[in-house]
Structures are given as structure tokens and as C-alpha cells.
Chain A
């Protein structure tokens, strides 16, 4: 579903990603972890081209995201990749419901009533149907992030990307967001998720990718990764987490 082929990215002289070769299969949940500055966020942001790459290819559903293409094609491609940000990025001038319906209406030309109905169903799914008319400023961080997930789902993406979705949350709100993500995973959604929530990785992930200084050092199923990591850097990372 998402294939990285020899992906390299530089910021000036700084090599942010080095020879990334990896694949997220359809229906798979991949958790990307690693110390901060290791390139996890950069990697996930290259998938819908929020970051450009210097060489290599990223195939999404068989199509190279970084091939030259018209703006219209790129917009359509992006609408097929759900993206959830660390900082939620809800649109503060729109109500919860309008946040979700804006894109289906404006981009896909969905009728207003149809979009509202679907948005209500999505809100129900993330447990926030009663907040449909609230504005983002009236929601807690956890609620905002759940709305952000519903907003991304409204475009019916075949895959969802999560860039540290719980890092900006108070500890007691992390659970509600992870629960929504778990449900999504259980429904068979293809997910790529940068997170520090190792419990989530253990319970939900099919594969764990461990990154450091722009490279993927280890790919393993969570069982193996957490009990017997191979790479010394991964061992150090996991033992640091436990302290």
C-alpha cells in the first residue's frame, strides 16, 4: 500500500532520511518509533508530500507520490491519504461538524445534507456526536484530536497517517484517542503511526519500525521488538524508556 524505495532527504547539508526501504501492507498497522530528531515525522510527512524528497520513490497504492504531476493530481492524491497532526490543526473558525464537512463538500462536491449525515455518523464513531455544534476552542485536546481523526476519515482515505497524535495531550486524554485508533485498526484500516506510546505499539501494531538518525535500523513484529531487539541502539532506546 505504501512503499518506500531508496528514499533520501536532505535539509541543506543535513541528511534527514537515508536510503529508506520499507513497506506498509494493506490493512497493516505500522508504528514508527525512535528518539526525537530521528526522522520519524519527516518520513511520515513525505508520504503525502508535505515534505519533498531528494531521491527515491514512495508508492501509494502503486502510484509514485513524488513523480512530477499536476497540482490537481497532487491534491487528489492527498485527499486519499488521511493525516492526523500532533497539534490537531482543527479549523478554529468552524464548528466541529463544519470542520468535518468542509472538505467533502468543497473538494468532492458532496451535497451538504449528505455530508452532514456522514459527519454525524463519524462523530458518533469517535464518541463526540453531542459536540457537533461546538467550536474547537470549547473542546479538550483529546476531543479535538478525535474530531481531527473524524475529519480525516470523512474523505474516506484508504490509509491513515498519524504524526505523534497523542504527544500534545494531557496524560488522561491519551487513552480516548488511542481507543479510537484501536477501533480503526480493528476495522482493518491501513495505518502508519509515529508515536511514543509503546503500549499502543505492543497491542495494536503489526510491525514496529525503529528509526535513528534518518535510517530505519530495525523492523520487527512488536513481540520480538520489545522482548528481543536486535540493534544495540534499539536496546538502548527501550531501556531508556523503562526508566
Chain B
């Protein structure tokens, strides 16, 4: 079976890597990575804005942001993708490429979920930090930028990371609207071979696993670096907090 996998990769590596480019759109792993990076990079600032809007007292900010979060939470991502794919062209009168559809949907959907994580991080800090910053004369946004968010985002790194990983995995749903990503390419390979679905999809799973695992490692590295800096330890790397550290038993 390993032999089969090696042969499949040898015969199809270019298709899996870049799709049918330059004879078609850039696809394969390249498309998946670009879609993932763009989704995360855009969803994160969007999530911050939604989180701040959800914490705002102004109904003009509070209401739309709350509706967005509730819709994103209440509707399956697949339905949302179909909506954007079929309904948005009707509204704006022109077709939009699947890649853009997928990007916009992911940014809104993942942004809504991320915003709740960020909001939770902010609320969990309690009032004291905001009061201290305001009593020194910081504006609300100044206090957010220099005092609240640096703490809230750091505390939420594990949850934020999970959401980033989800985002990467959710790019596979682009398959249903013919976005030529890695999943799409793997399916093309499978359709050619017909007899080796297990091997083909094993390759696919492995690649996704490696991408998400790398991201996890990067996040752990980042978390440790920040916690080192904040505990004044400089370059020294402490062991990751073990489960034991959280229990009362020795």
C-alpha cells in the first residue's frame, strides 16, 4: 500500500501541488494555503471589530454584530456557502469566482466565531484593568489597544488556534462550489484511478494534518515566547504546563 501511495504521489504531485495551473486556475495545495492564509489574515481583524462592536453600548454597532454572530452560529457553513454562491450573484448581478465566494464566506463565518473567543477573553479580564487604564487617562480604544487586547489575545491563544485550524479544514468545503483546492485535486486523482480511494484520501488527510500540526507548533512556540517575556525569563524555555499542574494532587 505504501508503494501505491508513493506511485500516486510521483504521478500526480504537480496536480496536487498547483492544480491545473497554468492551463487552469491555480489550485491544489497552493490554493488551499492561499485560501487559508487569506481567510485567517482577514478573519482576525474582522473578528476584533465584531468583538468590539458586540461590547459596544451603541445599538448601531451592537445589533448588526450580534445578528451576524447568531446567524453564523446558527447556520451550517455549507448552507452559508450555497447562499453566498447562489444568492449574491443574483443581488449584485454578476458572477463571482468560487475562490472569492469561499474567501468571503469563510471570513464572515470564522470571523464571527473568532469574535466570540476574543470577546470572552476581554470579558474574562474583569473590570479592574480597564478601570486602571481609564483612570490614568487612556481613551477606551487606547486602553483596549495597550492594556486589554494584549492580555486577552494572549490568554486566548489556544482557542484562537483551534479556530484557525478549523478555518483551514473548512476550506475543503470549497469543493462543493468547484473551488480547485487540494481536496478538489485529490478527487480528480481519485476519479482517474478509480480503484485506490483509500490511498488517495490518505495522502489528502496526511497533508491537512501536517499543515494543521505545523500551525499548532507555531502557536505553541509563540505562546511560550510571550510567556517567557512576561515572566522575565528571557530566552529560557519552560516546559509546557502539564495537566498535573492543574490538579491538587501531587
Residues of chain A having any CB pair with chain B under 8 Å: 48, 50, 71-72, 75-76, 78-81, 83, 85, 87, 89-93, 95, 102-103, 106-107, 133-135, 137-138, 151-152, 155
Contacts and interface: CB of A to CB of B under 8 A. Distances in A.
Given A91-B147, A93-B151, A93-B230, A151 B136 contact: yes
A79 B137 contact: yes
Given A92-B151, A135-B231, A107 B137 contact: yes
A93 B154 contact: yes
Interface stretch (B59-67, B73-81, B125-133, B184-192): B125-133
B137 A138 contact: no
Interface of B: 128-129, 131-140, 142, 146-147, 150-151, 154, 230-232
B151 to A, nearest CB: 5
A155 B131 contact: no
A50 B136 contact: no
A81 B131 CA distance: 13
B171 to A, nearest CB: 33
A107 B136 contact: yes
Contacts, number: 70
A48 B138 CA distance: 13
B118 to A, nearest CB: 16
B232 A78 contact: no
B104 to A, nearest CB: 34
**B137, B147, B154, B231: which has the most chain A beta carbons within 10 Å?**
B137
A71 B140 CA distance: 9
Nearest to A136: B230
22 contacts: A50-B135, A75-B134, A75-B139, A78-B137, A83-B136, A89-B128, A89-B131, A89-B132, A91-B133, A91-B147, A91-B151, A92-B230, A95-B232, A102-B147, A103-B136, A106-B146, A107-B136, A133-B232, A134-B232, A138-B232, A151-B136, A155-B137
Nearest to B139: A75
Contacts of B128: 85, 87, 89
Given A93-B150, A135-B231, A85 B131 contact: yes
Contacts of A152: 136
Nearest to B232: A135
Given A92-B230, A135-B231, A106 B132 contact: no
A137 to B, nearest CB: 7
Contacts of B142: 106-107
Contacts of A133: 232
A-B pairs, 5 with minimum CB distance: A79-B137, A89-B132, A83-B135, A103-B136, A89-B128
A94 to B, nearest CB: 8
A211 B131 CA distance: 24
Given A91-B147, A106-B146, A107-B142, A135 B134 contact: no
**A76, A87, A106: which has the most chain B beta carbons within 10 Å?**
A106
B137 A75 contact: yes
Given A79-B136, A81-B135, 17 more contacts: A48-B135, A50-B131, A75-B138, A75-B139, A83-B136, A85-B131, A91-B133, A91-B151, A92-B230, A93-B151, A102-B147, A106-B138, A106-B146, A107-B142, A134-B232, A135-B232, A137-B230
B47 to A, nearest CB: 20
A56 B232 CA distance: 48
A127 B128 CA distance: 25
**B132, B146, B150: which has the most chain A beta carbons within 10 Å?**
B132
Contacts of A91: 129, 132-133, 147, 151
A107 B232 contact: no
A140 B151 CA distance: 21
Contacts of B146: 102, 106
A48 B129 CA distance: 16
A75 B133 CA distance: 10
Contacts of A103: 136-138
B230 A76 contact: no
Contacts of B140: 71
A90 B137 CA distance: 15
Contacts of B154: 93
